[in-house]
């Protein structure tokens, strides 16, 4: 059981260290606004992936809330195929949290893409990047292994406790039997055989209980 807790603690530490890797040192460097057939492509250039929440208060306003990222000293705005952007504001609203507000005609119909240097691009609200999917899959597989090992360790601990309990009972029965022989020397052979048969019967019952407990 103790080994199971150690393994579980190792897993928690491993996951937290991995999450810290995703969140540490992540900066937003560029915002690219690109005209498309349906509206705009809003491309966010960063060091690594970040959580992005997309909101459209109106047809001409887009609000992006980013977690696990902060702005670099200079965030470059790039415009491709458009010169009708009315406003672009980047705010650090909290530690490792950004708010980006874009005002433009029909900006509601936009596709937001986060394009990290370390990792693959992902469309906000549609899919997770491949590297993060693989990471989550690895963590889940590791968790399954930890649970399986912990279960085996628990079952083994239960078996040890049962065996110890049975051994203590056998010793107690043996001591009682020996005391009876000492205090009652008049016990004849027939009584002695009867006691032995009784002890064998008790042993069988104990073995049956042990077998059913293990199964």
What is the pLDDT averaged over residues 143-162? 71
Q: Which residues of 22-54 are buried (b: 16+ CB within 10 A; e: fewer)?
A: bbeebbbbebbbbbeeebbbbbbbbbbbbebee
Interval 40-54: pLDDT, tens: 999 999 999 999 999
- Enumerate the H helices of 34-129 as residue ranges: none
Contact 104, 84 (CB under 8 A): yes
How high is the mean pLDDT of the chain? Answer: 76
Shortest CA distance to 76 belongs to which of 85, 68, 88, 86?
88
Read off the tokens for 163. Answer: 């065996």
| CA distance readout (Å), 174 to 7, 136, 197 | 41, 57, 13
CATH topology of domain 2-127: Immunoglobulin-like (2.60.40)
pLDDT band at 126 (very low <50, low <70, confident <90, very high): very low
């Amino acid at each position: 059981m103790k080994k199971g807790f150690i393994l579980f603690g190792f897993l928690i530490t491993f996951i937290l260290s991995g999450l810290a890797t995703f969140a540490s040192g992540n900066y937003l460097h560029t915002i690219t606004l690109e005209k498309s057939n349906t509206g705009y492509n809003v491309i966010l250039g960063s060091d690594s992936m970040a959580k992005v929440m997309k909101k459209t208060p109106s047809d001409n306003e887009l609000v992006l809330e980013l977690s696990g990222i902060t702005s670099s000293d200079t965030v470059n705005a790039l415009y491709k195929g458009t010169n009708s952007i009315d406003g672009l504001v980047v705010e650090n609203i909290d530690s490792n949290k950004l708010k980006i507000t874009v005002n433009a005609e029909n900006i509601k119909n936009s596709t937001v893409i986060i394009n990290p240097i370390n990792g693959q691009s992902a469309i906000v609200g549609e899919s997770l990047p491949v590297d993060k999917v693989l990471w989550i899959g690895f963590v889940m597989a590791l968790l399954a292994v930890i649970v399986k090992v912990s279960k085996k360790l628990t079952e083994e601990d239960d078996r040890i406790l049962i065996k110890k309990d049975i051994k203590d009972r056998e010793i107690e029965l043996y001591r009682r039997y020996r005391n009876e022989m000492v205090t009652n020397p008049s016990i004849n052979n027939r009584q002695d055989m009867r006691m032995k048969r009784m002890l064998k019967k008790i042993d069988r019952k104990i073995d049956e209980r042990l077998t059913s407990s293990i199964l």
